Amino acid sequence: MAAIGRQIPTGREARQPWLRAGLFAATLAVSLALHAVLLFQFPVIPMRRPGAWPSTVPRRPLVMGEVRPVPDLAGFLQPEKFRPENPEAFAEVAPLQEELLENLRAGAEELEFTPPPPAEAAVPPPASSAAAASLDLRQEILQIEHKAAADELAALPRRIEPALARRSGAPDISLPADEAAIAAAAAAAGDRPGDASIRPLDVLSAAQPPAAAMLAAADRNAPAEAERQAAQGRMLDETIADVTDVEPIERFLSVAVSTYKAASENALYFELAISRAGVEALPVLPKDVLLVQDSSESITRTKLDFFKAGLIEYLRTLTTADRLNLMRYSESPELCFKDWQPVTADTLQAAAQFVEELRARGQTDLFSPLQQVLRIPRRPDRPMVVVLMTDGRPTMGTIDSSDIIARFSKANQGKVSIFTVGAGDRVNTFLLDLLGHNNRGGSWIMPLREQIPDAVRRAARELSRPVLANLAYRFSSDSAAEVYPRTLTHLYLDRPLRLVGRCPADQKSAVLQIVGESGPAKRDMVFAIDLEEAEDGGEGLRREWVAQKIYKLINDHLTSGRDDTLREIRDLSIRHNVPLPYGADFPL
């Protein structure tokens, strides 16, 4: 069966199955070894679908090998505020400018000057056309289009007037005479015009009536000697109306004088306080009152409530002769009324509603409402009083206190009287003091915010009755006194007018004149001041005078920016042991 169905391989064919089996076994062993190496040498690769593989290959963790210390960097220093009035800011620029100019000058001297080549001949002008040649510009210019005089007037003969005959020796004054006497005198002088024997008295002797009779008649009508001297005296007499139109008012006022003589210097300090003399008073002037309230976030809600209470009290002090307006401001000013309003029940109610709606919000732009104040119409016969209630801390617009004071004072020129009210430990006393001092006003700065209503009530009481506006003063020429302030407030019946001065220690007296306006009329007061009989005012007078002079020097510095003014302020403070005011707000 086997022989019939299958042939049995022999030789090489019989060994091939074993060879294939060996090759397969060797291949399997190599594959297993390779997979083992891959398994132990490489991380496990997750068997995921390609879409699920991570987009980034995980990074190996960094190992810190060495730590090197980094040196500390210098802290950021706020640069000093640039002030154009400070010359020290340009100290480094001046040497550089001089060096640059010197280099330019030296370089210009080294360059050789090469004269330009001679100019070439100009291009000949184009030939004129026939139309241009026929145009005669002179004929066009000289042609008379409108005749102003008739041609026949030029043909008339010119008339010449004969010269008048002059008579030498004719009298300067001729008295009345008849025609015969005048003819005889003229005939006598006609043939001898140059004869010195002919005198003017020849005509006088022939006058009718005779000159002697005329003089005698004049003497008979002349007044007696006593009457003549009395008439001459009346010609020299003067009345007050002949000398000036200013009405004296010193009888209504009194001046209180106090002095202090410093032992360490040869000087006398004095203070003059001018107030009403008695029950009889000057007529009160009608006034225009503008109440300006800061309603920004820097005021805070509590402080604003105190200001609102003070504003309501101020409204109650106004009279029917006054005019009223209110303004609130934060980022921009807003008026209660479009124009001045008379004080009536309706306007007071509208003003109270305006005050009640005040809210503390927004930033503070102080210079914009001050500019708006100057744009409000003002009558010259009514003093305009502005009461500004703020903390004096602007946060937008013009924020520099010195700029605000200088720019507003220059634009105002004392026309509007500014008074300021502030309270608290953050109030800018430098801005509020100088803003009032430079603009015929003053300031009320309270240490506590709870005192704000009292300060506003005091301002309303002292400013309620102005009697003399736009004051100016001067001392007699023989006085060597240095007096401050230079600009006075209006004169109020309930607010004394104060002046402080310094003069030589041996000065015994002085004469003061103050001139002001009362509506359309001018009035003045003249006081003879006895410095010997004055009361002792104590050392506080010297401190007050130093403070007033510092005000004046600060204004000079704001205007000129000179460093010597700052040095004078420091020397004055050290010499009199008076600390500089305003702390960090002082412009040094």
The set of residues, in sequence order, having a beta carbon less than 8 Å from that of 311 and lying 6+ positions away, is: 291, 293, 326, 355, 389, 456
100 falls within a domain: no
The set of residues, in sequence order, having a beta carbon less than 8 Å from that of 470 and lying 6+ positions away, is: 383, 414, 440, 490, 516, 517
* C-alpha span between 546 and 502 (Å, rounded): 10
| Structure token pair of residue 208 | 């009718």
* C-alpha span between 355 and 327 (Å, rounded): 9
302 falls within a domain: yes
516 falls within a domain: no
Predicted local confidence at residue 376, as pLDDT = 95
45 falls within a domain: no
DSSP-assigned letter for residue 330: S
67-96: pLDDT as tens digits: 677 666 555 455 555 454 455 555 665 676
116-152: pLDDT as tens digits: 665 454 455 555 555 555 544 444 445 556 666 666 6
* C-alpha span between 247 and 365 (Å, rounded): 44
558-583: pLDDT as tens digits: 888 788 888 888 888 888 888 877 76
Query: Judging by beta carbons within 10 Å of its beta carbon (0-12, 13-18, 19+), is residue 156 exposed, middle or buried?
Result: exposed
Query: What global pTM score does this model have?
Result: 0.60
Write out the DSSP string of 339-383.
S-EE--HHHHHHHHHHHHT----S----HHHHHHHHHS---TTS-
Residue with tokens 């005089």: 149
214 falls within a domain: no
371 falls within a domain: yes
Total domains, the chain: 1
Percent of residues, the chain, with pLDDT higher than 70: 66
6 falls within a domain: no
For 159, other C-beta atoms within 10 Å of its C-beta total 5
Predicted local confidence at residue 302, as pLDDT = 92
Closest CA to 262 of 580, 576, 578, 579: 576
227-248: pLDDT as tens digits: 777 777 776 666 655 556 678 8
Which residues form the domain of 430?
286-464
Mean of pLDDT over the chain: 79
Which run of H or E residues covers position 27? helix 12-41
The CATH number of the domain holding residue 338 is 3.40.50.410
Is the distance from CB of 469 to CB of 518 less than 8 angstroms?
Answer: yes
Low-confidence ranges of the chain (pLDDT < 70): 1-17, 40-67, 70-94, 96-97, 100-101, 104, 107-156, 169-221, 235-245, 279-280, 583-588
336-392: pLDDT as tens digits: 999 999 999 999 999 999 999 999 999 999 999 999 999 999 998 899 999 999 999
261 falls within a domain: no
* C-alpha span between 500 and 434 (Å, rounded): 17
